[in-house]
Amino acid sequence: MSAGTQATAPPAKRPAVTLSKLAEKKALGEPIVMVTAYDYPSAQVAEAAGVDVVLVGDSGAMTVLGYPSTVPVSLDEMLMLAAAARRGLTTPLLVGDMPFGSYEVSDEQAVRSAQRFVKEAGCDAVKLERGGSSADRARAIVASGIPVMGHVGLTPQTATALGGYRSQGRTADRALEVTRDAIGLEDAGCFALVFEAVPSDLTELVVPRLEVPVIGIGAGPATDGQVLVFHDLLGIYDGHAARFVKRYGEVRKAMVDGVTAFAADVRERRYPEPEHSYTMAPDEVARLRGLLEEI
């Protein structure tokens, strides 16, 4: 935990988080907490910490699957991660991130992929990136009965077209484009939006014009909630961390220290000790000696 940060215990037993609960939180001005998770243990941690929304982000392509970007991850890989996360959760809303190439071609493709997140992985909702044609895809998925979260600003699946992994909307014209994307996704029926890597000024001016909750990552404090990538916030991921990442743990260091200590104990024959071993009754040992002599 960073200096000056205080952990408070999560509520003991909470009702499952619903879309109306998120809308209510926005109305009451209560910040929404979202984290990513990609497997059973990370989902269990999110559950125990009492977060509101868990996103099985396609950032898992990099943080857990080792790809250089989010682009290569397949729908089947995302479904496997999402199904594992589902098994670790009961309370937070679970959102599956639709990977690049799983929704852009047609409304039919988008609905089919979204249905797989719900049927095969048990997700409550899906997320997709960008405005424009993605708003049409979002409308089609919403019409099929599946809630959709939109994502504007820096959209990593199309980072190359945006000029790289850099903040978006820093000129008035480009900020207006981001705003139009957000409004288009809200009009398409999205229940919430992610604003990624946009100036705080843009967020301050645009969030009050939107009815749905806006969850920010590098979008300043004026959003209705915040999301961070699990491996970034806990210091598990060794790759580049964006400016907006705040570290609340150094878990990778703790893991490397633990495995290093294990390796040293094995090499120095300090492990296992008697309490880590099983025993036989002395008469059974004696009988075994006799049996071994016979063969």
Q: Which of residues 93, 178, 185, 194 is near ligand KIV by CB under 6 A?
A: 194
DSSP annotation string for 161-227: TTTSS-----SHHHHHHHHHHHHHHHHTT-SEEEEES--HHHHHHHGGG-SS-EEEESS-S-SSEEE
The contacts of residue 13 (CB under 8 Å, 6+ apart) are: none
Round to whole Å and give the CA distance between 267 and 109.
Answer: 54
Q: Which of residues 37, 217, 233, 236 is near ligand KIV by CB under 6 A?
A: 217
Q: Is 196 a catalytic residue?
A: yes
The contacts of residue 257 (CB under 8 Å, 6+ apart) are: none
Contact status: 59 vs ligand KIV (CB under 6 A): yes
What tokens does 88 get? 């670790």
Contact status: 223 vs ligand KIV (CB under 6 A): no
Shortest separation between residue 39's beta carbon and ligand KIV, angstroms: 14
Shortest separation between residue 196's beta carbon and ligand KIV, angstroms: 6
CA-wise closest residue to 123 among 154, 92, 157, 156: 92
Nearest residue to ligand KIV, by Cβ distance, number only:
57
| Closer to ligand KIV by Cβ: residue 59 or 223 | 59
Q: Considering only 5-13, 52-60, 98-106, 233-241, which stretch makes contact with ligand KIV by CB under 6 A?
A: 52-60
Round to whole Å and give the CA distance between 293 and 110.
Answer: 69
227 - beta bridge partners? 34
| Closer to ligand KIV by Cβ: residue 142 or 219 | 219
Q: Which of residues 33, 188, 227, 236 is near ligand KIV by CB under 6 A?
A: 227
Residues found near ligand KIV in the complex (CB under 6 A): 36, 55, 57-59, 97, 151, 194, 196, 217, 227, 229
